[in-house]
Structure 1
């Protein structure tokens, strides 16, 4: 199920600690938006539902695997989702159902329509969620990038369709 979102100008990607999946999604989508000539029209950010890693750079493994594919995450620093994010962002895209539930619990009812799973934008969905690679091996970081690139392509296509 792809969510069609007209008039989107700001997107927040969310995972648990904001050091693996959501910064990767931010970096990948930022690069794809830039290549499409849309970067100057968008606000793109990422955050975590938990404050475990606030102020830290993305996980080194996430950065290494992203660099291999041409995506640079080095300027990012982890932060926690804030109440004003629900107002500020047009889309708040969770990496998994657990984080989506946490966002739904924190989000005022008037803004819950902005909350979705990022994988709903995937063009070739093989899963509903982007798995957390933190405790797994290297293959997990490649899988995360595969899923994120697919969902980012779908999101970009949706934005272009409604531009």
Structure 2
């Protein structure tokens, strides 16, 4: 899961998919991680608002710490899921050409929502964080379904 600073959207998606994977009994087979395209917040926990909104829905983000996306992530993981066009461009610049098929937008996996991007809630209010959760829950359910269809088993980011 990849967003800009790895403190709002990508940790939320990380926490949601991690819980869905665990609930499906796949925790030993599917690895979930998150990173940011920029190193603004490396080592910091997720934004407190992200944590609070996620906790209300049963997701614990407290153990996560921000890190920056690196080129090796594209070989280590089967999927690198970005939140928006800006993140996609930044990730594509790091991505080895042979791994470009792994780079996708998280919203491609949505089944109920039609948003093309997961918007950054950082400068907004609580409704933005709730909208992120709505999109992320929808998309992560789609990711889990896709992993099941593909046989799962390798790490996914």
Give the TM-score of the pair, scaled to structure 1. 0.91
Q: Is 1:160 the counterpart of 2:145 in the alignment? A: no
Q: 1:152 deviation in Å?
A: 0.4
Which of the pair is proportionally richer in strand? 1
Moved over 6 A (4+): none
Q: 1:162 deviation in Å?
A: 2.1
Partner Cα distance (1:117, 1:126) in 2: 12
Q: Is 1:27 the counterpart of 2:15 in the alignment? A: yes
Partner Cα distance (2:23, 2:105) in 1: 24
1:55-94 to 2 correspondences below 5 Å: 55-94=43-82
Q: Which runs of 5+ in 2 are unaligned?
A: 152-157
Q: 1:146 deviation in Å?
A: 0.2
In structure 2, what is the equivalent of residue 6 of structure 1?
none
In structure 2, what is the equivalent of residue 39 of structure 1?
27
Q: Deviations over 1:116-145 (max 9, x none)?
A: 000000111220100000001110000000
Tell me the SS of whatever aligns to 1:43: coil
Tell me the SS of whatever aligns to 1:77: coil
In structure 1, what is the equivalent of residue 41 of structure 2?
53
**Retained in 1: the 8 A contact 2:70–2:94?**
no
Q: 1:83 deviation in Å?
A: 1.7
Q: 1:108 deviation in Å?
A: 1.3
Q: 1:43 deviation in Å?
A: 1.3
Q: Is 1:139 the counterpart of 2:127 in the alignment? A: yes
Q: Which runs of 5+ in 1 are unaligned?
A: 1-12
Q: Deviations over 1:44-79 (max 9, x none)?
A: 100000000000000000000000000000000000
In structure 2, what is the equivalent of residue 18 of structure 1?
6
In structure 2, what is the equivalent of residue 117 of structure 1?
105
Q: Deviations over 1:65-115 (max 9, x none)?
A: 000000000000000001211111110000001100111111111111110
In structure 2, what is the equivalent of residue 98 of structure 1?
86
